[in-house]
């Protein structure tokens, strides 16, 4: 990974856009629901999830292979290698804990580690207590709150699959996760788009998890 990319990431995290807008759910109506909890099951299998990973940080592009493996009910292991097979980073993560197993020296920066920790804690969060529910023509939408964090989860009405998570903090939209999937336990592709600075991560299926 070029040093220029790390400098760009550092600058982008320091000079966040102050114009980030308050998030408002539009085009949806409140509905009654019996659901107390909804889940993101895309990383719930014990099999390896292997993806082609593309990261765009401002004008810098990095690609490699990303592997996500569930270790137990609360913890995942995440490892990324370059296209040439060199290990870049390896860590274990849960909603409340983070253990760094390995990081390439050029990547061993607090700002980079915190960026990856936050993104993957949000991506791998599984259970969401339901506070309110809504629906539009295409999706059932569940509002979940914890501390000053708010999540909107959009489930496709036709197949029941999770298709989007909008993560907000202090009423500001932070990250938009969108999924393409055919199974509840495996996302064929994922687009992670930051809203307050120009960072985008895309994952594309390499090997599909087999259902037992």
pLDDT band at 108 (very low <50, low <70, confident <90, very high): confident
Contact 100, 88 (CB under 8 A): no
Encode pLDDT of 6-37 as tens digits.
555 555 544 444 445 678 898 999 999 889 99
Q: Which two tokens stand for residue 58?
A: 């401002």
Encode pLDDT of 143-179 as tens digits.
999 878 899 999 999 999 999 999 998 888 999 999 9
Confirm or reject CATH 2.60.40 for domain 3-8+20-207, answering yes or no.
no
* pLDDT at 209 (0 to 100): 46
pTM confidence score: 0.86
Say yes or no to pLDDT of 212 above 50: no
Q: 127-129 and 37-39: which strand pairing?
A: antiparallel
Say yes or no to pLDDT of 123 above 90: yes
Secondary structure (3-state) at 10: helix
Q: Which of 98-102, 146-150, 207-211 has the lowest mean pLDDT?
A: 207-211
Domain ranges for the chain: 3-8+20-207
């Amino acid at each position: 990974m070029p040093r220029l990319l790390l400098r760009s990431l550092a600058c982008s995290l320091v000079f966040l856009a102050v114009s980030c807008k308050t998030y408002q759910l539009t085009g949806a109506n409140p509905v009654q629901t019996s659901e107390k909890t909804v889940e993101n099951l895309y990383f719930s299998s014990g099999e390896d999830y292997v993806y082609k990973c593309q990261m765009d940080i401002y004008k810098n592009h990095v690609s490699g292979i990303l592997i996500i493996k569930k270790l137990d009910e609360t913890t995942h292991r995440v490892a990324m290698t370059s296209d040439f097979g060199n290990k870049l980073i390896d860590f274990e993560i849960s909603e409340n804990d983070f253990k760094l197993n390995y990081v390439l020296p050029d990547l061993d920066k607090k700002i980079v580690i915190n960026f990856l920790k936050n993104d993957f804690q949000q991506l791998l969060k599984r259970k969401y207590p339901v506070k309110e529910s809504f629906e539009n023509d295409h999706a059932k939408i569940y509002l979940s709150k914890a501390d000053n964090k708010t999540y909107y989860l959009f489930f496709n009405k036709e197949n029941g699959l999770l298709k989007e998570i909008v993560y907000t903090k202090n009423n500001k939209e932070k990250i938009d996760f969108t999924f393409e999937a055919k199974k509840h336990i495996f996302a064929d592709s994922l687009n992670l788009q930051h809203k307050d600075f120009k960072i985008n991560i895309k994952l594309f299926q390499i090997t599909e998890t087999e259902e037992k």
